[in-house]
A and B are shown apart, each in its own frame.
Chain A
Amino acid sequence: MPLTDINLPLATWALLAALGGLLAVDGVSVPQIMISRPLISATLGGAIMGNAAGGMLVGALLELLSMRHPPYGAAKYPDTGPAGLIAGAAYAEVGGGSLEGLVAALLVGWVLGWIGAYAGYGRRRINGRLTLASEFLAADPRRLERRHRLAIGMDVIRGILLTGGLLVPATLLVALIVLIPTTPTGTAIGATAVVTLLAASIGSAARTTAPDVRAWAMVLLGAVMVLTAIWARAW
């Protein structure tokens, strides 16, 4: 798709930026109902741009990638809400259902996830400054309430700024990657890399969820059953 054909009206940009704020706050602050998971956020991004299925494909792959980073305590993990939204929207708008678009959207989603994560760490440090003066807060508990709400408000703003600020550059990057003329070898390498990425993520996720040899057998059984069904259907 030529860059001049990119269609991102101001109202859509504003809608996505506002949604980015909501998704960012769901990730950690409130209410953690998991609309911030890439499976959901990328589907929303795709649906807004007119291709929910494309968005969900990106989201499902990002989801498996991020299963390697469970949010235990103060562990570092990607902020997948705004990142998934942007990746899903960009793939739906300029990815065109191609492998190149898919690779570009995954790349964008992964990088933005970590940018969001580092913005989140900064916010946590600010939260520390807001809430560490215990005696001052205890003297009038309304101060604690105000600062707690302020911290949540800052998280919403972080999501809006991330989405609003990075949506256009990310869409342009995806469009530029799609424009690279690929050879059959290039396409084969790209597809192999994505499938390898998928396989590695599955292996990691299996180990994180159930670190047991029996888990391995169940993964294999699931894969074989689906392959058999596909093969039987093709016949």
Chain B
Amino acid sequence: MEPRRRDLWQAWWRSFTVQGSWNYRTLVAPGVTYALLPLLRRIHSEEPERLQESVLRHLDSFNTHPYLSSLAVGALARLEFEGASDDEITRFRVALRGPLGTLGDRTVWAEWRPFCLLVSITLFGLGLNPLWCALVFLGVYNAGHLWIRVWGFRCGWQQGREVGRLLRAFPFQRFADRLWPVTMYLLGAATVLLGRAVVATSDGGTSSRWLLFIAGLMVVPAFRWPNQFGRLAVGLLLTIPILWILLALTG
């Protein structure tokens, strides 16, 4: 039986929760099955055994970026609706899980989110009201987020097994790939602006030129060896209060 508009809405809305029951063995499979359920119930409403078989199949290990889960939910529901065989659906799930995870991680986590965060941090550094900065980040970021979810679900449901072709030309990726020069520019600007704010908290207790020189010196090796220098920086942070106590004790 064809799903109603209400079932589609419910499945799309539920796709926001796919990681709610994330676990180390089946990953997002329970969440994706949870999102699929309104559609599966309708599609297999006359065959309860097929509903059980279908749920069992979808509970098998699956992975996707959370935002692109709507695409997986739409496409898998379309295959179920078209009466695809168990074997075909299983193969489709296996083929889908890799690209959905990688594409989402690369586009959203590595490109879109840093860009939006740095826009907001730079605006804050330039003196904009912090609450406005927070709203700018949430508004801009979630415009992209919601677009991916809507596009994914619509394409998944309309194209079914053809979504692989669509993913190769994922429009959001083309857009996000062009952002990196701006992101990097903002990263440099935000560093200086935040460094200035940190120096301002030291109440003139230290020279800003000296600090900028050290910061500039640290960026070069940190860029080359990010993990080692990241750990070194956190180690420094953890030891500063101890250093202060020792300095206070020694006068």
- The reply on A72 being an interface residue by CB < 8 A is yes
- B199 with A127: CB separation less than 8 A: no
- B240 with A128: CB separation less than 8 A: no
- With A31-B16, A194-B198, A210-B184 known as contacts, the answer to whether A72 contacts B105 (CB < 8 A) is yes
Q: Quick one: CB contact mask for A143-186 with B, threshold 8 Å, 1 for yes?
A: 01101110110010000000000000000000001001111111
Q: How many residues of A contact B (CB 8 A)?
A: 111
Residues of B with C-beta under 8 A to A152: 17, 20-21
- Main secondary structure on A side of the interface with B: helix
Closest to B56 in A: A138
Partner of A202, one of B51, B210, B219, B236: B219
Q: Quick one: CB contact mask for A177-219 with B, threshold 8 Å, 1 for yes?
A: 1001111111111111111111111111111111010111011
- B20 with A148: CB separation less than 8 A: yes
- The reply on A35 being an interface residue by CB < 8 A is yes
- The reply on A23 being an interface residue by CB < 8 A is no
- The reply on A18 being an interface residue by CB < 8 A is no
Partner of B202, one of A73, A99, A141, A199: A99
- The reply on A12 being an interface residue by CB < 8 A is no
- A180 with B30: CB separation less than 8 A: no
- A206 with B184: CB separation less than 8 A: yes
- A40 with B137: CB separation less than 8 A: yes
- B184 with A34: CB separation less than 8 A: no
- B185 with A218: CB separation less than 8 A: yes
Partner of A110, one of B51, B137, B221, B237: B237
- A202 with B109: CB separation less than 8 A: no
Residues of B with C-beta under 8 A to A1: none
Shortest B236–chain A CB gap in Å is: 4
**Contact residues, A91-110 vs B (CB, 8 A):** 97-104, 106-107, 110
Q: Tell me the bound Cα distance from A200 to B135 in angstroms.
A: 28
- A195 with B244: CB separation less than 8 A: no
Partner of B248, one of A183, A199, A201, A221: A183
- A124 with B22: CB separation less than 8 A: yes
Partner of A34, one of B130, B142, B188: B142
- The reply on A81 being an interface residue by CB < 8 A is no
Partner of B130, one of A52, A149, A225: A52
Shortest A53–chain B CB gap in Å is: 5
Closest to A152 in B: B20
- With A39-B120, A102-B201, A134-B56 known as contacts, the answer to whether A219 contacts B23 (CB < 8 A) is no
Shortest A216–chain B CB gap in Å is: 6
**Contact residues, A49-78 vs B (CB, 8 A):** 52-53, 55-57, 60-61, 63-65, 67-68, 70-74
Residues of A with C-beta under 8 A to B60: 134
Q: Tell me the bound Cα distance from A46 to B134 in angstroms.
A: 12
With most chain B CB atoms within 10 A of its CB, the pick from A56, A60, A71, A127 is A60
- A198 with B23: CB separation less than 8 A: no
- A56 with B194: CB separation less than 8 A: no
Q: Quick one: CB contact mask for B129-148 with A, threshold 8 Å, 1 for yes?
A: 11101100110011001000
Residues of B with C-beta under 8 A to A177: 241, 244
Residues of A with C-beta under 8 A to B105: 70, 72-73
- A107 with B206: CB separation less than 8 A: no
Residues of A with C-beta under 8 A to B233: 65, 193, 196-197, 200-201
- The reply on B234 being an interface residue by CB < 8 A is yes
- In the complex, given contacts A128-B24, A180-B241, A206-B184, what are 17 additional A-B residue pairs having Cβ atoms less than 8 angstroms apart? A32-B67, A60-B121, A74-B24, A102-B201, A125-B24, A138-B55, A152-B21, A191-B199, A194-B237, A203-B218, A204-B226, A218-B188, A219-B219, A221-B188, A226-B192, A227-B192, A230-B196
Task: List the interface of chain A (C-beta within 8 A of B).
Answer: 28-35, 37, 39-40, 43-44, 46-47, 52-53, 55-57, 60-61, 63-65, 67-68, 70-74, 97-104, 106-107, 110, 124-125, 127-128, 130-132, 134-135, 137-139, 141, 144-145, 147-149, 151-152, 155, 177, 180-210, 212, 214-216, 218-227, 230
14 A–B contacts from the bound complex (CB under 8 Å): A30-B20, A33-B138, A33-B145, A47-B130, A55-B130, A60-B190, A65-B233, A181-B248, A194-B198, A197-B234, A200-B218, A201-B222, A204-B223, A222-B191
